[in-house]
Structure formats: C-alpha cells, structure tokens
Structure 1
Amino acid sequence: MKPSIYVTRKIPDTALQLLKEHFLVEMWEEEETPVPREVLIEKIQTVDGLYCLLTEQVDQGLLELAPNLKVISNMAVGYNNIDIKAASNKGIMVTNTPGVLTESTADLTFALLMATARRIPEASEFLRQGQWKSWAPMMLTGQDIFGATIGIVGMGRIGEAVAKRARGFNMEILYYNRSRKMEKEAELGISYVELNELLQRSDFVVILTPYTNETKNLISKEELLLMKDTAILINVARGGIVNEAELYEALVQKKIWAAGLDVFEQEPLPMDHPLLTLPNVVTLPHIGSASIKTRIKMAELAAQNLIHALTKDTPQNLVNKDLL
C-alpha cells in the first residue's frame, strides 16, 4: 500500500505527477484559495505526509490530530507557519525549498528597491489619471540608486545575490548578520557593521533575515529614527520583522523617505490598512519568488522532499535536523 499524502493547494502538474508516482495523493483543488481549516483538520488525521504552503498554520493542535504523519513538506524557504518544536517532539520531519528561489527573489528585491526609489508605480498612476500636463523640473523626482549605500540585514543566499546586483550599481554595501561572513566580504565587496551603524549610514535598508523570536519587530520606532530622512526601507523577508504601525508613523512624519514592502504581518493585507493610504509606499502581494520557472522548481523540490522522507531517505532540505 502506497503512503498517503495531502496537498493543500493546486500545484504545477510536473510536481503532482512526481507525487502520484509514489503516493496516494489527495489535493485541495483551488489554486487561489487556501484549504479551509476544518478540511485540513479532517485530512491530517489519516495521511503519512503533508504538502503545504505558508498559508497553512501547522501548529501543535493540528499535529496532535495526526497519528500517522511522518513529514511536512513546506513549499517555501521560510517555515514560521509550522511549529518545528512540536513536530520534532512527535518525530515528524519538516522540509523546505531553499536555493531554487534565490535569484528570482533577489531580482524582485532589487526591482522593488528601484520602483520605490524612482516612484515608478506613483508615476504610472499619475499618467493614467491624466495629471501629466507638462514637464517640470522637480516633478516626481526620486532617489538615486547608482553610487548609494545599501544596508542588507540578513546575509544569507538571497542577501548575497542582492549584494551582487548592488555591485553593478556601484553601491557601497553594508551588511548585518547573526554571524559575520569573512569569506564573503572580499568576494562580494561587502562590509560588516552592527545594526545601528547600518541604519544610520544606509540610503537603502533591505530586510532579508529569517523571522524568528529574535527578529520579531527588529525594525521598530527606535531603529527607524536612526535612519536618514532620505532613506528607503525594503522588506521582502517576513512582515513581523518590521513593526508596521511604527513604520506608518515614521513615513507620515517623514522620518524616512519611503518603503517598499512585499510582506506583511497579516496576509492578505486588509484593504483598509493605513500603509495603503500612503503614496510613498510600494506594496506587493508576497511575490518574491513568483517567476514561472522558480515556482515550478519549488513545487518539484517540495515533492522530492516528500519522496525522500517517505522512502526512508533523509531529505536534503530537512529543517529539524535534530531528528537525525
């Protein structure tokens, strides 16, 4: 009898076929709508493996209902939607999909930085609303990128990829990380500084650190007040790393110049959220890795993680390595 798995969202056909070669597969057929919690509760009680997205909260309560569950494959790099400790306590492997989305996410990060600095969405709307009456010397002027100073908070794979792009713009590259990366400093032309110094010196502060208890509200009022009033904050990591209420106040009071955000504390972002009222905020619906090739690679990697885990082979992308 093949192991049984549940897939919480419609995934690309190539990944689905991989799974069907090895497992009895049941899938929530909606592409845009997350699986309802009550359905997930029902399905988790019998399956051997769970293929999920960031939209599913796999907490201790859910895991207690899963006597047969052996592996959770998260189609994402992050895994703050999963209670890792609870999974480990039950001997359940948790896997993720790092690496394959590095370049696409770095592309999006730099695109968001440029769009915010040069006010591209605002300028497009200005034209579409018929407000463009004449050329004017200071109309829709933004901030220069070439030769500016970028501060990257979190120098993992994506941070390194963003640094490579920043080099092409002749930027001074500062970084802050949990551990210093001496070997990368010469290779990438980056300089390690403490967080406060990074905030004070940077024209662009780019958040790329994982979301943990230590990084929750890492950027709040105190940190925002350290930044230049011409500085731009870019967040493509997780929403909870930046205190959104205090970011809003900093933007309204012109303590910083603008923000570009791909992630939020609550997703989807409510349409009455105060940040949506500000012209100097560029907002995206969490599309950091959203290229066609990358999403297919992520889906296939998440499938391979399940296959390895349920065929007695250690998954390459095991998160809770303490199980080994």
Structure 2
Amino acid sequence: MTRYQVLVDEVLPDEMLSLMAEDCEVHVWPADEAALAPLLPAAEGLLTYGHPRVDGALMDRMPKLRVISNFGVGVDHIDLEAARQRGIPVGNTPRILDGATADMTFALLLAAARNLVVGDRYARSPDFTHYDPSLFLGQEVHGATLGIIGMGSIGRQVARRARGFDMTVLYHNRRRDLQAEAERGRRNAGRPDTRGRANFGTHKTPATRETRG
C-alpha cells in the first residue's frame, strides 16, 4: 500500500504518529537546507506549527503538495492567496483556542496588576532580606473597568471571565455586539481608544493591515 508523504515542521507526539502511520510516511522538517531540499518534491501534505514561512516560493518547490494543515488557529505564516491560486486547501482549527487564549489574557492581566513577575524575581534575589508589603501591592482587579478592542469569540470569552471579577467591560468592535451589551457590565465604547476610561485593556483583533502598527 502506498502511503502519503507528509512533511511536518515539528517532532510529533507518538500518539499522533501512530494515528498517521497506517496511511502516511512522516518526515520531520530538518534544520539543514541541504537535508530539506530532497524532501520537498515528494511531499503531498504539509503539517505546520507556524515556524517556516509557507509562501508561493515554497509551494513551487513542492509540486505534489495537496493539502496544508495548520496546527492551531493563526495562519499568518501561510500565503493563503498563493495556496488558492495553486488549488491547495488550507486547514486550521478555529475556535479551539478561544478559551485558552482568554485564560492567558487573564493570567497576564493579574500578573501585571499585582506585579507578580517583579515580585517573584525579587523574592528569589539576594535583596529579599525583609518583607515590605507596600512594595508590590499593585492594582485592584475586582470591580475595575476592562477595555476590550475586538468583541469576537475570544473577546467574549475574556468578557465572561471579567464577570467573575465584577468588572465593567468597555468594548469596541467594527459592529456593535448587542448580545454582548445585553450581558451585565458590558458597554459599547463608541470609539477604539479606551485609554483614560479603562483600568486595563486588551486587543483581540486579527492581524490585518488595519490593525497592525
């Protein structure tokens, strides 16, 4: 039985390899260009974690490429137009990381508000000879106002977590989200700049020409 030739840009867990072994022969993307070159012409599938830039030039070196599968949500590293022109479908996993991203947003918010990183470093340093409670008090998160730019699926997840801290959510979106406004504590900001009106802010927008810079 002929197996599909699949190129991956990271070492896969054994569980994934065992699932693919029956139908696929998996090759890990080598660091050396000389070792990579002979793998490209035969590759029928590309599984990418986002490390190499998958552009038209790379696709042209893979004449048998039939599918590109992205491990995760973001496809910024893949030239989607080049793939479309060559008839190569691109797959990703939308929505699967919304909750995890919102969790990390709140982890970073709490760490910044309460000076956790600075305090941790200080506690591990030789300078930590006594404890002064006033050094790293930080800022209260409970009851504060959170500005969210981009009330998409991730923005909504962040707003739900903010509810647990009794926060007021001030959001801006290209289109008003009436469902979001119907939920307690969420108000339309009216303009994208929430500085001066929010204690904390987070951007949950896609990386486009309009949002970069």
TM > 0.5 fold call:
yes
Higher relative contact order (CA 8 A, sep 6+): 1
- Equivalent residue number for residue 62 of structure 2: 66
- Equivalent residue number for residue 252 of structure 1: none
Contact 2:41–2:63 (Cα < 8 Å) also in 1 = yes
Which of these two proteins has the greater Rg computed from alpha carbons?
2
- Equivalent residue number for residue 191 of structure 1: 187
- Equivalent residue number for residue 171 of structure 2: 175
Over aligned residues, Cα RMSD in angstroms? 2.1
Deviation at 1:179, TM superposition (A): 3.0
C-alpha distance in 2, partners of 1:196/1:56? 33
- Equivalent residue number for residue 98 of structure 1: 94
- Please tell me whether residue 109 in structure 1 is matched to residue 105 in structure 2: yes
* TM-score between the two structures when normalised by the length of structure 1: 0.60
Distance 1:22 1:153, change over 3 A: farther
- Equivalent residue number for residue 131 of structure 1: 127
Contact 2:9–2:51 (Cα < 8 Å) also in 1 = no
Letter in 1 for 2:20: L
Counterparts of residues 293-304 of structure 1 (less than 5 Å): none
- Please tell me whether residue 118 in structure 1 is matched to residue 114 in structure 2: yes
* TM-score between the two structures when normalised by the length of structure 2: 0.89
Distance 1:77 1:105, change over 3 A: same
Secondary structure in 2 matching 1:174? strand
Deviation at 1:57, TM superposition (A): 0.6
Q: Deviations over 1:106-150 (max 9, x none)?
A: 211111110111101111111211323444463223111111111
Out of 151, 157, 163, the residue aligned to residue 153 of structure 2 is 157
Secondary structure in 2 matching 1:198? coil
Letter in 1 for 2:43: V
Distance 1:183 1:37, change over 3 A: farther
Counterparts of residues 1-324 of structure 1 (less than 5 Å): 1-28=2-29, 35-36=31-32, 39-136=35-132, 138-187=134-183, 189-217=185-213
Q: Deviations over 1:290-310 (max 9, x none)?
A: xxxxxxxxxxxxxxxxxxxxx
Distance 1:214 1:127, change over 3 A: same
Percent identity at matched positions? Answer: 39
Secondary structure in 1 matching 2:148? strand
Q: Deviations over 1:238-294 (max 9, x none)?
A: xxxxxxxxxxxxxxxxxxxxxxxxxxxxxxxxxxxxxxxxxxxxxxxxxxxxxxxxx
Q: Deviations over 1:77-134 (max 9, x none)?
A: 1111011111111111111122222222221111111011110111111121132344
Deviation at 1:27, TM superposition (A): 2.3
Distance 1:196 1:212, change over 3 A: closer
Distance 1:208 1:44, change over 3 A: farther
Which structure shows the higher helix fraction?
1
Deviation at 1:47, TM superposition (A): 1.1
Distance 1:199 1:60, change over 3 A: farther
What residue ranges of structure 2 are gaps of 5+ in the alignment? none
C-alpha distance in 2, partners of 1:195/1:26? 49
Distance 1:187 1:79, change over 3 A: same
Distance 1:132 1:40, change over 3 A: same
Deviation at 1:42, TM superposition (A): 3.9
What residue ranges of structure 1 are gaps of 5+ in the alignment? 29-33, 218-324
Letter in 1 for 2:106: F
Distance 1:18 1:168, change over 3 A: same
